[in-house]
Chains A and B, each alone.
Chain A
């Protein structure tokens, strides 16, 4: 095998919404493989189905037909509890509007995914502290989201997305609510993450931002219009390198 196992594999994925008598086909047969270490931008006009795709990739929703393999495991028809577990252990989310819990402090927000996995408090606190320092929030451990700037809030969200060591980090317009300076800051963090071998999938409108990724997938009317790999992913997991040299 020359190519490493894909970390995300979509096979003929369909998603249809029924609103009363009218049915809307949001996704019409998506086939997509994403390998570990890739940084994928998903682009397309609004209504093209990219939000639907992100919901499916995030296990927040189930496809109508088709298969979705995440890390080799078919998650397309799991029940609600198992999907929750997948979200909590294998996925990280970064949202456009940060989506932090307002009544929790920075550290507590970062700990939320570990809390639902039953981590002991001292251990999850230690991990959260390390991650918060890494994203440059040393002095703000016990601040609440409303005491932070947008850029800082998004850093908290990134730390939270990393805390459970996910297979894939999903980002939905992560710089959409930020000014250009803090936006660039966040994108730099993303670059770092990708350098370190993290697999990232990012939905964006902005061509310039999209080109920082290693690959761009363009959508139109619920189908993939164009899929371009810009460059090789910068980092390959040791197992993959071993497979490549073998």
Chain B
């Protein structure tokens, strides 16, 4: 204390400072800034406790975003695959009939089954709404370029196959009507086959060999959906083919005939299949389901054995959307439960914190804090706590799908709204679960609070 001042001046000088508080929104703004800073401070003082407290929210938010991203990616992939089949298409495939039927057919050594040309004619003539029919023969063969070979499916088909199946040509062109009529030895390679047989050069104009026939490469298709991985083909004869090679249907019929001989582990088998695959295009999307029923009935009348399957991509698409919906509901409830648990954790800590800081509340009340000031202080603190948890959760939740894509090669999609919603909900949790502790703090009797040890 400065002795040169007269005692009567000593305090006066300081305390008569003019007092003109700011008004309106500026007051609200500066106050809000300071409340935020106060909240940050007390979170920082107990940083370990704060971190542990928000862990529930962090995991909740993080798992929701990550699971949504993985689920979204999986369903996107599935839907892309289905879409590539064409939503207006109905795909019929020949299948080997069940074993007991086979025994009787074995007498003449040749197994005769599957879809045939009369089936196509019947479908086109009797069912309205059917616009195009794409027949296809699929033969499993090795395709050779000098010494390189791949195990692939040779598909005999018609020139309009690409438009029908949403499968575009990447380089060169698809076969045309003339080549179809001439039974020309031309082929269009799948992207994977092209990459394996011609790793260093363009396959266009080169030839590949299947059996004893050479085919001139006129085009390469675009890569399609998920490729079967090279590692899978080690599992023997049943392994999936690497890719498909397309040749004119007429050429296929001429080169391979209708009877295919297979030699496997000593036994000899012969199969006679006219068409392996038939794609039926329906004019209107709404007609797809009724037409599919009609085709089913029509074919069943002529095929006593169950030697065909029918795939309706549109129904698969609907099915996959339903599955996705169920997935989202399940995910939503898991998220709700984990966020609820996280919120309860936060409330628990805030209640403890209110008790621990009873004295501080009493002091602040004695120094002029209104109930509202105390409520806001604790509420802001809780919201900041849960929002911080939300932010950490969002960051983790976005990075996890990234690593899943990097290491597991799965497609993941982080939609914009999932982090936004997750963050908003976690902040809202702060309000909901912070309100009770905050009100409890505000409603303390200041006299009691000051006496608290």
Closest 4 pairs (CB-CB, A-B)? A88-B368, A195-B7, A165-B15, A118-B21
Chain A residues contacting B41 (CB-CB under 8 Å) are: 103
- B8 & A160 in contact (Cβ 8 Å cutoff): no
Contact with B along A56-86 (1 / 0, CB 8 A): 0010110000000000000000001100110
B212 within 8 A of A: no
In whole Å, how far is B307's beta carbon from the nearest beta carbon of chain A? 81
Can you list 27 contacts pairing A with B, beta carbon distance less than 8 Å? A58-B366, A84-B365, A84-B371, A87-B365, A87-B366, A87-B367, A87-B368, A88-B368, A93-B366, A95-B450, A99-B363, A101-B360, A101-B363, A102-B360, A112-B364, A118-B31, A135-B1, A136-B1, A160-B367, A162-B11, A192-B1, A192-B11, A195-B7, A195-B10, A196-B7, A196-B11, A197-B12
- A134 & B367 in contact (Cβ 8 Å cutoff): no
Task: Provide the bound-state CA to CA distance between A195 and B362, in Å.
Answer: 31
- B9 & A61 in contact (Cβ 8 Å cutoff): no
Chain B residue, CB-CB nearest to A98: B363
- A117 & B30 in contact (Cβ 8 Å cutoff): no
Contact with B along A128-169 (1 / 0, CB 8 A): 001100111000000000000000000000001011110000
Chain A residue, CB-CB nearest to B372: A81
Chain B residues contacting A121 (CB-CB under 8 Å) are: 30, 34
Chain B residue, CB-CB nearest to A164: B368
B159 within 8 A of A: no
- A80 & B366 in contact (Cβ 8 Å cutoff): no
Per a CB cutoff under 8 Å, which of B7, B359, B363 touches A192?
Answer: B7
Give the B-binding residues of A (Cβ under 8 A): 55, 58, 60-61, 80-81, 84-85, 87-89, 93, 95, 99-103, 112-113, 115-121, 123, 126-127, 130-131, 134-136, 160, 162-165, 189, 192-193, 195-198, 235
- A61 & B447 in contact (Cβ 8 Å cutoff): yes
In whole Å, how far is A46's beta carbon from the nearest beta carbon of chain B? 14
- A81 & B368 in contact (Cβ 8 Å cutoff): no
Task: Provide the bound-state CA to CA distance between A93 and B367, in Å.
Answer: 8
Chain B contributes a number of interface residues (CB within 8 A of A) equal to 39
- A123 & B12 in contact (Cβ 8 Å cutoff): no
Per DSSP, chain B at the interface is helix
In whole Å, how far is A144's beta carbon from the nearest beta carbon of chain B? 10
If A116-B368, A163-B15, A195-B10 are given as contacts, then 9 extra A-B residue pairs at C-beta distance below 8 Å, sorted by A number, are A60-B446, A113-B367, A130-B14, A134-B1, A136-B1, A165-B15, A196-B7, A196-B8, A235-B8
Chain B residues contacting A123 (CB-CB under 8 Å) are: 17
Beyond A103-B41, A120-B30, whether A192 also contacts B10 by CB under 8 A is yes
Task: Provide the bound-state CA to CA distance between A131 and B17, in Å.
Answer: 11
- A89 & B368 in contact (Cβ 8 Å cutoff): yes
In whole Å, how far is A140's beta carbon from the nearest beta carbon of chain B? 15
In whole Å, how far is B14's beta carbon from the nearest beta carbon of chain A? 5
Chain B residue, CB-CB nearest to A61: B447
In whole Å, how far is B419's beta carbon from the nearest beta carbon of chain A? 33
In whole Å, how far is A230's beta carbon from the nearest beta carbon of chain B? 19
B309 within 8 A of A: no
Most chain A CB atoms below 10 A, which of B15, B364, B446: B15
Chain A residues contacting B373 (CB-CB under 8 Å) are: 116
Per a CB cutoff under 8 Å, which of A119, A126, A131, A134 touches B21?
Answer: A119
In whole Å, how far is A237's beta carbon from the nearest beta carbon of chain B? 10
- A195 & B8 in contact (Cβ 8 Å cutoff): yes
